[in-house]
């Protein structure tokens, strides 16, 4: 049977979609040995894997933030608010809002790029751990780092998906005592270049960590992704 021009185009489009999906599945599967890639190919793969997950998590967190903000204004959902305060270690309504408001996507994406070597690190390939989040709970899924600190094994969390890793990263920033100043500042500004200066305690690099994040955001124009926040 001879295909019409429209049918041929639709078939070609379907094949292209299936091939693209297969490539993404292969590259995002755990414990996948990656082929050699150019810098451009590595970054394109990273963006296809990470940006959709960050977009989804950010959107969900903004919905929750707006709902909680409205509840606090109206005085409703007191039980839910109380539970959230316990979960996020918030002592006041203001601290709860600081915890729940998600920071700009550009920062999350830049940190993902840095911490996972553009989604090529062993932590990412074997555990979907994009942000190098450590594990201190022997009962949770985790994998050991290859290097030790003295005679102590370093463990990092293992996640079921990329989205789960992104969600836990935002939760870590929202709860961690080391990021209190960061949370305060993000209530005043959404400028990623100002905010990254307050992430010096995320890494042993200290202040240099913020400088490197700034470079990644600027060079890759990740701040343009914040326009739709």
In tens, the pLDDT along 148-174 reads 888 899 999 999 999 999 999 999 999
Range of the domain at 26: 1-30
> Does residue 97 sit in the same domain as residue 138?
yes
Higher pLDDT, 84 or 13: 84
Whole-structure pTM value: 0.84
Q: Quick one: pLDDT at residue 21? A: 45
CATH of the domain at 49: 1.10.530.10
The two structure tokens encoding residue 19: 């091939």
> Does residue 126 sit in the same domain as residue 73?
yes
> Does residue 115 sit in the same domain as residue 139?
yes
Integer Cα distance of 165 and 45 in angstroms: 17
- Domains in the chain: how many in total? 2
> Does residue 57 sit in the same domain as residue 110?
yes
> Does residue 178 sit in the same domain as residue 80?
yes
Integer Cα distance of 228 and 105 in angstroms: 10
Integer Cα distance of 182 and 96 in angstroms: 14
Lowest average pLDDT, out of 21-25, 112-116, 174-178, 208-212, goes to 21-25
């Amino acid at each position: 049977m001879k295909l019409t021009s429209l049918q041929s185009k639709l078939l070609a489009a379907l094949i292209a979609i299936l091939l693209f999906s297969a490539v993404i599945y292969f590259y995002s599967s755990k414990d996948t040995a990656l082929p050699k890639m150019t810098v451009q190919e590595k970054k394109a793969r990273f963006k296809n894997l990470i940006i959709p997950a960050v977009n989804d998590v950010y959107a969900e967190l903004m919905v929750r933030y707006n709902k909680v903000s409205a509840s606090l204004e109206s005085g409703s959902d007191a039980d839910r608010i109380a539970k959230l305060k316990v979960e996020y270690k918030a002592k006041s309504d203001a601290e709860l809002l600081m915890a729940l408001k998600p920071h700009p996507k550009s920062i999350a994406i830049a940190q993902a790029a840095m911490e996972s070597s553009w989604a090529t690190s062993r932590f990412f390939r074997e555990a979907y751990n994009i942000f190098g989040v450590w594990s201190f709970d022997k009962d949770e899924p985790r994998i050991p780092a290859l290097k030790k600190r003295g005679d102590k094994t370093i463990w990092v969390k293992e996640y079921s998906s990329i989205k789960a890793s992104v969600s836990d990263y935002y939760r870590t920033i929202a709860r961690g005592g080391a990021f209190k100043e960061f949370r305060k500042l993000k209530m005043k500004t959404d400028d990623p270049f100002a905010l990254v200066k307050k992430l010096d305690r995320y890494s042993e690099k200290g202040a240099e960590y913020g400088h490197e994040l700034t470079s990644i955001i600027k060079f890759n124009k990740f701040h343009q992704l914040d326009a739709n926040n």
